Amino acid sequence: MRTRLTSLCALAASLAAVLAGSSPAQAGIPGLPLCAPLVGQTCSGNVALNTLVVGSGVPCTLGSGPQNAVDGAASNIYNDKWCVRSGQPRLTIQLPVHLYGFTVSNIVIKHAGVAGESSAFNTRSYRLSTKIEPYCAADPLVTVTNNTASQTFHNVGRSNVSQVVLDVSAPTAGGGGATRIYEVEVWGQPSGQLAPFCVFG
């Protein structure tokens, strides 16, 4: 009896810790914060962390694929970046499955200079957009030209987001060369109400 009671107490304590948490998940469901939004908790965090991502273009190396842009690492110039040799690549981030999508507050993009590469390799021009569903038309968010910063921050304030799309139009200060994105962070929390109907893309 004592052993069973001890086990029940430990389970209750673990559940309470999960429900009280509000930091991005490092384990469990990728991209989801450590709390329970379906039972009235408020969750916020980087909801793109370790989620599904697709990138166009030819990677610079075998280890520089698009998953590096959402893995939470941004310091190793060989292993932590999404790198595309040339052209104008697209990165599509599919946020974790949630009934109503996510209310996104901010998007942070970490460019080449974050990891100590030359600031001349920072992404010069790009566009960000969001989607309610993958089959919906993209909703443009911001177009950036002549960027020189190693980190760029964008206020979003959109609900029911299921996808974030990054289109690179000028990879570097010189306009050509390789695209180097170390991380795309999508900060937000699960939306609490049904999305409006969208226009098919």
Cβ distance 37 to 58 under 8 Å?
Answer: no
To which H or E segment does residue 194 belong?
none
136 falls within a domain: yes
Token pair belonging to 135 = 């089959």
Burial label for 139, CB within 10 Å (0-12, 13-18, 19+), is middle
197 falls within a domain: no
Per-residue pLDDT of the chain (201 residues; tens, 9 = 90+): 433 333 333 333 333 333 333 233 222 334 444 444 444 444 579 999 999 999 999 999 999 999 999 999 999 999 999 999 999 999 999 999 888 999 999 999 999 999 999 999 999 999 999 999 989 999 999 999 999 999 999 999 999 999 999 999 999 998 889 999 999 999 999 999 998 888 887
Compute the distance between CA of residue 196 and CA of residue 137 in angstroms, rounded to an integer: 13
Compute the distance between CA of residue 110 and CA of residue 50 in angstroms, rounded to an integer: 16
70 falls within a domain: yes
Count of domains in the chain?
Answer: 1
198 falls within a domain: no
165 falls within a domain: yes
195 falls within a domain: no
Question: What range does the domain containing 104 cover?
Answer: 2-190
Token pair belonging to 180 = 């180097």
Whole-angstrom Cα Rg for the chain: 19
Compute the distance between CA of residue 36 and CA of residue 63 in angstroms, rounded to an integer: 34
pTM value? 0.79
The CATH number of whichever domain residue 15 belongs to comes to: 2.60.120.260
